[in-house]
Amino acid sequence: MSFHSLLPRPRRVEHAPGQLTLDIRTSVGGEPSVARWFRRHVGAATGLPLPLAAKPTIEFRIDHGVNGHRVEIGPEHVLVTAQHTAAAHHAAQTLRQLLPPDAFRRAPVRDEPLSLPCGVVEDHPRFGWRGCHLDVARHFLPKRDVLRFVELLAMHKLNVLHLHLTDDQGWRVEVPQYPELTRIGSWRARSEVGRAEVPEHDQQPHGGYYTTEDLQEIVAYAAEHHVTVVPEIDVPGHSQAAIAAYPELGTGDPVPVWDSWGVSDRILAPRRATVDFFHDVLDHVMAIFPSPVICLGGDEVPGATPAHGALLRRLVEHVHARGRRTSAWDDAVQLTTLPQGTIVLAWQDPQAIARAAEAGNDVLLCPETHFYLDHRQSDHPDEPVPVGHLNTLENVYDYAPPTERVLGLQAHLWTEHLDSAARVDYAAFPRLCAFAEVAWSAERDPAEFQHRLVHHHLPRLDAYGVEYRPLDGPYPWQLRPGVAGRPR
């Protein structure tokens, strides 16, 4: 591999003659957690022992005076100098990309010498928040698939996993104080299939949830990859699963967990008891997730009243009183005045940035038109479940984000039509590769990105086992014949 194969694109590279050969004598050391990560993952793929050593071949050194990281590769030694541990981990990902694509396998497949090109890479990210939202409420993803998705985010130097844990169609987080949330709220009797004008349903029950220990494992594993997990408990709308479990949270007759897509009109009753209930839920969630940010949704609340805005604000204040920040979708500003410190997720309204700035709030840019990766990737009739806007790989890459009062960027995977890890792979990749470069790289070149993607990065995804969408259209087994979409 060469320095021109890296994705996201680094800020500066300097080539030098020669190469460093990795063999049984190659050792790693320096910053302990990154050295262990490199030994574990690259060692498994290459079959090399990569022992930890005091004077290692590959050294990860922390220097708070560095901006980002600097990788210097010589014929005998690799020195990584990084601003902090996360930057050192990004450098480790760079080194892995400089090896052949087989470095992304889980076991060695070739008995061939491996080498790193000599030279220097200096790099740091454009945005501090480079996130991806994963909806596990509409379709549950088993823990193993979430852990795998964490690895894929880290591979692309993304650093936030926004985990959408609750919605009308399912409640996915165990709360021991309220066992009905998972006994009843975590599964539905059937699911809508596609988005036909006349809704069609399968007759397959769907469900699942994460225990407290499952979520603690996800958080710990993500931390090893320098990914922060931001949990979302969506209120006061998108709450039918919670109302199904505890009907007193809503109004009207009892309802089941919703089996259709879209926006349910069953929303939380703005009562003191509802606030107390979600205080307990949020305290449990904050005990699991050390994330400095907790998302409270606030989006798409049909029939909302000022009392619903007051409910949301009281829950935001509860989280802030415990030393955390909250985030909420830009719809929430129509419900209530969000307290300072709340992060606005700007998904639909270009004016959200200006309004947030006036209110003293920061913004995450996640425009539906560019960063919603569940939307259809082409207008070809074979595109499986063609919903939403046309959002091509090129459209993702072309997004030009403003930077004032913007914490960062976030891509989104809503899973109404993504019912397996394979379908998530298909929707996410390679568009998430383009998103990663937009979020990381200060300079971009569409033609050069396409070359790196095709000739260098897709082979890495192949080696890792990602079932991405081929650039020229889906494979036959990726089609969903007969499943209607609803393109916009």
The catalytic residue among 122, 151, 217, 300 is 300
Collapsed DSSP state (helix, strand, coil) of residue 80:
strand
- 135 falls in which pLDDT band (50, 70, 90)? very high
Q: Considering the domain boundaries, does residue 454 fall inside one?
A: no
Q: Are residues 235 and 152 in the same domain?
A: yes
Q: Are residues 138 and 203 in the same domain?
A: yes
CB atoms within 10 A of CB 481: 7
The predicted structure's pLDDT at residue 334: 87
Q: Are residues 108 and 135 in the same domain?
A: no
Helical spans, DSSP H, in 338-403: 352-359, 368-371, 393-397
Would you say how long the chain is, in residues? 488
Q: Are residues 45 and 157 in the same domain?
A: no
**CA separation for the pair 22, 381 (Å, rounded):** 48
Pairing relationship of beta strands 206-207 and 187-188 according to DSSP bridges: antiparallel
Q: Considering the domain boundaries, does residue 343 fall inside one?
A: yes
- 307 falls in which pLDDT band (50, 70, 90)? very high
Q: What is the mean pLDDT of the chain?
A: 96
Q: Are residues 199 and 174 in the same domain?
A: yes
Q: How many domains does the chain have?
A: 2
Q: Is 358 a catalytic residue?
A: no
For the stretch 60-79, pLDDT in tens is: 999 999 999 999 999 999 99
Give the residue numbers spanning the domain of 262.
Answer: 129-442+460-466
Q: Are residues 241 and 140 in the same domain?
A: yes
Q: Are residues 170 and 272 in the same domain?
A: yes
Q: Are residues 301 and 330 in the same domain?
A: yes
The predicted structure's pLDDT at residue 351: 77
Helical spans, DSSP H, in 206-340: 212-224, 240-245, 272-288, 306-321, 332-335
Question: Between these two residues, 334 and 293, which has the higher pLDDT value?
Answer: 293
Collapsed DSSP state (helix, strand, coil) of residue 194:
coil
**CA separation for the pair 185, 209 (Å, rounded):** 9
Phi, psi of 141 (to 5 degrees): -110, 125
Pair of tokens at residue 156: 């692309």
Q: Are residues 114 and 149 in the same domain?
A: no
The predicted structure's pLDDT at residue 330: 92
**Domain containing 165 — which CATH number?**
3.20.20.80
**CA separation for the pair 434, 422 (Å, rounded):** 19
Q: Considering the domain boundaries, does residue 475 fall inside one?
A: no
Pair of tokens at residue 84: 């902090």
Q: Considering the domain boundaries, does residue 480 fall inside one?
A: no
Pairing relationship of beta strands 228-235 and 160-164 according to DSSP bridges: parallel
The predicted structure's pLDDT at residue 257: 98
**CA separation for the pair 242, 210 (Å, rounded):** 15
Is residue 352 over pLDDT 80?
no
Q: Are residues 112 and 158 in the same domain?
A: no
Angle at 404 between CA 398 and CA 409, to 5 degrees: 45
The predicted structure's pLDDT at residue 45: 97
Q: Are residues 18 and 160 in the same domain?
A: no
Question: Between these two residues, 189 and 356, which has the higher pLDDT value?
Answer: 189
| DSSP element (H, E) containing 39 | helix 32-46
